[in-house]
Copies of this chain bind each other. A is one copy, B any other.
Amino acid sequence: MAKAGPGAKANAPRGKRATSYDVARLAAVSQSAVSRAFTPDAYISPSMRKKVLAAARQLGYQPNAIARGLTTSRSRVVALFMPNIGNPIYPFVLQTFSHRLRSHGRQILLLPLVENANEALACMLQYQIDGLVITAASPLALSKAIARKCLAAGIPVVLFNRYFADLKVASVNCDNARGGALAAEILHGAGHQRFAFIGGPEETSTHIDRYRGFADRLRAFGAAAPLIETGPYTYDGGHGAGMRLFARRDRPDAIFCANDVLAIGALDAARVGHGLQVPRDVSIIGFDGAPMAAWAGNDLTTIALRLVAMVESTVEVLLRAIDGQRAGSEPIRIPGDLVIRKSARMPGGSLPAAST
């Protein structure tokens, strides 16, 4: 098999691991007993279990999850489709998923950047994945196709901070519309007049809901409709949108951005690109609670996701679905938290200390 070159050892020494039979022999019990000793809630006496575990420890025995998977047709592995890991909140999301799933005895298989849904499905089927978490809806068609195929194959799916308007899939979200409304309240309350929204890909639910919450609340205040610029959810997207907005004669004095990376791009477009002072000349509010929003050079007012709560809720919904309970497809919404920094004027408040 291993077409190794000359001098190669045919197979690395893998030290012949102990099996349940080895443990059974040493403990002088049946192999079934060994299996039961490692199965929580199995019918086995405490003394038997103790004896088996002692022998297992002696041999360094670990049950083979592959063999178990073959008989149970459950791998105890959850797949994560996270092509948006470039958004700086996602490394933390990934870590948190990994940690929480582990505490439930689950491992994470990271789905690669597939070209089409069939590749993703093939991977999930081959490895008998128990469930899937999707954290990106972009490109929308791909994420949706993956979700659809998995569901059809009986693999539970939960969406993290996004949902599909026309496909019933369980999801856990930030209350994005509420966050957008909050941004409108602050910016309008601080006396701003010319509003703008910098968004991401227009078909994503985060873009839609954050915009809708913002625009609806502005309308309720009787304010003019916000200007809109969109781009990819990246620094360059925000920077480009900011440059275009600030070049206008009627340049906005208050910008709400669909996420923090966009907002930091817009901040730099204001300060570095156009020599504006923030928030004297323009207030900027982001969304997400990315680590760099807190950096002194940005000092970005933002609406932070409750990431830990969102991950925990996602894991809960997913594990319940894996256990066979139907998951509701109505999006679960968890509020976001306003984090006040120096990039936006606040209602009633004096202008915060300068922070060019």
Within 86-144 of A, Cβ neighbours of B (below 8 Å) are at: 86, 88, 90-92, 94-95, 98-99, 101-102, 107-113, 122-123, 125-128
CA gap between A66 and B127 in the complex, in Å: 6
Give the chain B neighbours of A75 by CB distance below 8 A: 66
Contact pattern, A 197-234, Cβ under 8 Å of B = 1, otherwise 0: 00000000000000000000000000000000000000
Give the chain B neighbours of A123 by CB distance below 8 A: 107
Is the pair A67, B70 in contact by a Cβ cutoff of 8 Å?
A: yes
Decide yes or no whether A321 CB sits under 8 A from chain B. yes
Most buried by B among A8, A41, A127, A235: A127
Give the chain B neighbours of A101 by CB distance below 8 A: 112
A180 to chain B, nearest CB (A): 25
Is the pair A325, B8 in contact by a Cβ cutoff of 8 Å?
A: yes
B8, B63, B295: which contacts A264 (Cβ < 8 A)?
Answer: B295
Decide yes or no whether A9 CB sits under 8 A from chain B. yes
A85 to chain B, nearest CB (A): 4
Give the chain B neighbours of A34 by CB distance below 8 A: none
Which of the four size classes fits the interface of chain A? 35 or more
Give the chain B neighbours of A88 by CB distance below 8 A: 88, 91
Is the pair A91, B86 in contact by a Cβ cutoff of 8 Å?
A: yes
Decide yes or no whether A324 CB sits under 8 A from chain B. yes
Is the pair B108, A110 in contact by a Cβ cutoff of 8 Å?
A: yes
Decide yes or no whether A297 CB sits under 8 A from chain B. yes
B2, B125, B152: which contacts A323 (Cβ < 8 A)?
Answer: B2
Is the pair A94, B85 in contact by a Cβ cutoff of 8 Å?
A: yes
Is the pair A355, B272 in contact by a Cβ cutoff of 8 Å?
A: yes
Is the pair B297, A125 in contact by a Cβ cutoff of 8 Å?
A: no
On whether A91 and B85 interact (CB within 8 A), knowing A108-B109, A126-B63, the answer reads yes
Most buried by B among A62, A66, A88, A265: A66
Contact pattern, A 229-248, Cβ under 8 Å of B = 1, otherwise 0: 00000010001000000000
On whether A107 and B109 interact (CB within 8 A), knowing A268-B295, A295-B235, the answer reads yes
A168 to chain B, nearest CB (A): 15
B14, B62, B273: which contacts A154 (Cβ < 8 A)?
Answer: B14
Residue in B closest to A15 when the chains form the complex, CB atoms: B154
Decide yes or no whether A304 CB sits under 8 A from chain B. no
A/B interface sample: 14 pairs, CB < 8 A: A9-B325, A12-B321, A15-B152, A63-B126, A64-B126, A66-B75, A98-B112, A99-B113, A102-B112, A109-B110, A239-B296, A264-B297, A272-B296, A356-B356
Leading 6 A-B pairs by shortest Cβ distance: A14-B154, A268-B296, A102-B112, A65-B126, A272-B296, A98-B112
